[in-house]
């Protein structure tokens, strides 16, 4: 009797298949990028289409396109029916370009060749205990962005795309006060501040970030918030605006190591009144082995900018070092949580 490899040992065969899937994970990212660039979701908005019909509209080869879409359908991105037509799924609908809070730009940013190349250098990050981006591209990530207008535009568009769905969730989850001033530190183009001010007509707000972000803010054309905000350019490592009743750091601290975060937090603490509050909007990593988007982002932050996602205990320790005290953590229906803090003395 001739032994067949794997006979009587289903675990070995299962492990092989699982490891093949995991090792080729980069192909799924490439397939997702292909679908986004070809705007397959847009072409399916009016109803199901076959690969042949989609290929005619996208200038692609029908056979190869079907293989890519069939692959994407294995994880809920599109669905193929018995007749060979592909349908939108809720996940695919989110990358249409004509829907509110579209994630199309976010997908293009996260699958950009510069990010893919950096991920391929992850071993160097682990061995050198620092981001591979600077060694691959010759500059730290944010300095590289400043010298590459095309990548900067892609990054800003992608971050705006990611922020849209999150902003509404944060504004609806936290009990923002009816009156007072909210200072959005590192607030980018102001999407979160706009969402907060829309929900609280008695609030005023300050958008604070570097000049390139502030110069393209979204507040000026919104009648609902007219006259209740100001935009200020500056460096949160140097100082933050005074006079806030609530300071917000949304997806700021995860970009930086602890020492840099302490500088930002101490600058906030220096201008906080005794009854002021600070909100950190970031992933809070759960314990255990369950999947969580924060664990994925944590590795990305390590490779790109020397940043990190943090556990509840790590946030608490960081806040103590800045003269602050963690008061509560509010989970949300989006991937970040809301960490609330107050002055410790």
Q: Is 104 part of the annotated catalytic residue set?
A: no
CA distance 300 to 294: 10
Largest pairwise CA distance in the chain: 85
Structure tokens at 37: 């660039």
Length of the chain in residues, anyone?
345
Is 30 in contact with 68 (CB distance < 8 Å)? no
Taking phi over 0 as left and psi of -120 to 50 as alpha, with beta for the rest, 59 belongs to left
Identify the CA nearest to 164 among candidates 230, 235, 251. Answer: 251
**Cα 331 from chain centre:** 16
Question: Collapsing DSSP states into helix, strand and coil, what is residue 40?
Answer: helix
Residue with tokens 């060694």: 135
CA distance 135 to 120: 13
Is 156 in contact with 109 (CB distance < 8 Å)? no
Residue with tokens 């937090």: 265
Instruction: Determine which helix (DSSP H) or strand (DSSP E) holds 153, and give its type and residue range.
Output: helix 149-173
CA distance 178 to 201: 7
Is 48 in contact with 81 (CB distance < 8 Å)? yes
Question: Collapsing DSSP states into helix, strand and coil, what is residue 307?
Answer: coil
Residue with tokens 């020492």: 259
Active-site annotation holder among 144, 217, 254, 292: 254
CA distance 37 to 109: 11
CA distance 243 to 265: 16
User: What residues act catalytically?
Assistant: 254
């Amino acid at each position: 009797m001739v032994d067949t490899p794997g006979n009587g040992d289903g675990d070995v065969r299962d492990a092989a298949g699982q490891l093949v899937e995991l090792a080729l994970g980069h192909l799924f990212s490439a397939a997702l990028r292909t679908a986004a660039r070809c705007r397959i979701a847009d072409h399916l908005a009016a109803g199901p289409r076959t690969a042949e019909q989609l290929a005619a509209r996208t200038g692609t080869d029908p056979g190869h396109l079907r293989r890519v879409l069939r692959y994407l359908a294995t994880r809920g991105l599109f669905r193929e029916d018995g007749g060979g037509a592909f349908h939108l799924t809720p996940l695919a609908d989110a990358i249409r370009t004509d829907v509110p809070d579209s994630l199309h730009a976010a997908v293009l940013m996260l699958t950009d060749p510069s990010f893919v190349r950096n991920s391929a250098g992850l071993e160097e990050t682990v061995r050198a205990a620092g981001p591979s981006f600077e060694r691959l591209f010759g500059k730290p990530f944010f300095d590289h962005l400043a010298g590459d207008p095309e990548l900067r535009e892609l990054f800003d568009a992608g971050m705006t795309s990611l922020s849209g769905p999150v902003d509404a969730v944060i504004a609806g989850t936290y009990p923002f006060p009816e009156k007072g001033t909210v200072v959005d530190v590192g607030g980018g183009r102001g999407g979160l501040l706009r969402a907060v001010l829309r929900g609280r007509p008695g609030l005023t707000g300050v958008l604070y970030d570097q000049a390139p972000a502030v110069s393209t803010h979204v507040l000026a054309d919104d009648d609902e918030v007219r006259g209740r905000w100001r935009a200020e350019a500056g460096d949160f490592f140097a100082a933050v605006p005074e006079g806030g009743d609530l300071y917000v750091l949304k997806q700021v601290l995860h970009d930086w190591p602890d020492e840099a975060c302490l500088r930002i937090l101490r600058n906030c603490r220096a201008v906080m009144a005794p009854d002021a509050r600070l909100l950190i909007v970031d992933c809070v990593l759960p314990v255990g082995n369950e999947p969580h988007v924060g664990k994925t982002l944590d590795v990305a932050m390590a490779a790109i900018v020397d940043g990190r996602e943090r556990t509840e205990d790590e946030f608490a320790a960081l806040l103590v070092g800045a003269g602050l005290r963690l008061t509560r953590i509010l989970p949300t229906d989006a991937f970040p949580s809301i960490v609330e803090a107050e002055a410790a003395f």
